[in-house]
Amino acid sequence: MTILDMLPGQKARVIAFTNKTTETNFLSFGLLPNSVLLLRRKAPFGGSLYIILESHVMAIRQSEAADVLIEII
């Protein structure tokens, strides 16, 4: 299951990443394995995702979301 499968309002824990380039970028942004994230909303025109982490908010593309394995909590 990846972030892409989440519905707005759902919370999840990060398990792992499936792409190394995306992984290094996510790590720099403070999204680590075991981080908890909330999918808050989706952008107009069905584009990017608005996610809330413990200390900050970020926007990611669907293609980036697909590289993050998660479990819903």
Name the site residues for another protein (rule: CB under 8 A). Answer: 20-21, 23-30, 32, 40-48, 50, 52, 55-61, 64
Nearer to another protein, 20 or 73 (CB): 20
Check if the beta carbon of residue 49 is closer than 8 Å to that of residue 60. yes
Nearer to another protein, 39 or 64 (CB): 64
Instruction: Please choose, from the candidates 65, 6, 16, the residue with its C-alpha nearest in 3D space to the C-alpha of residue 39.
Output: 6
Tell me the closest approach of the beta carbon of residue 19 to another protein, in angstroms: 9
